[in-house]
Amino acid sequence: MLPIKMEEKAQVAVIMVPFPAQGHLNQLLQLSCLISSYGIRVHYVGSTNHNRQAKLRINGLNPLDVAKIYFHDLPTPAFVSPPPNPNSSIKFPAHLQPSWTASLNLRQPVAEYLRDISSTMRKMYTSSHHGLPHSTCANRLLST
């Protein structure tokens, strides 16, 4: 693989969008630092609360790489979450359902952010989602 030239790096961006209910903030932050260490712009897009949590977990990561990560806070609607019920016969974490439902409202802000970023980038790549071709996910978001 040929190395990416500096002018090409300026036209490439990686956008990390952690799903609010999954516990992979640390892993995506570490991956973001690794990618940014190569001079590639990384945009970490999430709720204000999750971005704050990610920033608090920066300990041990290279501050120069972290400084190259652009955190973008998405507006998240307020929601009421019931307390967990450890005695429930159903072992589904129902107390998290309101958070998942509220995350559905993030589709439009993420799409708008992708539109803004894509206007300044030469190419935009997405990872495949549920077996869909790479461009399908971005096209679905951008068409909203």
Tokens matching residue 57? 């977990």
- The chain-wide mean pLDDT, for the chain, equals 75
What whole-number distance in Å separates Cα of residue 64 and Cα of residue 115? 28
Which tops the pLDDT comparison, 10 or 113? Answer: 113
Lowest mean pLDDT among 58-72, 89-103, 109-123: 89-103
Count Cβ neighbours within 10 Å for each residue of 36-75 and write b for 16 or more, e otherwise. beeebbbbbbbbeebbeebeeebeebeeebbebbebbebe
Which tops the pLDDT comparison, 69 or 102? Answer: 69
Q: Is the pLDDT of residue 102 over 80?
A: no
**pLDDT for position 17:** 85
Domain chopping of the chain, boundaries: 6-142
Percent of the chain at pLDDT > 70 equals 75
Does the predicted model carry a pTM greater than 0.95? Answer: no
Lowest mean pLDDT among 30-34, 83-87, 93-97, 124-128: 124-128
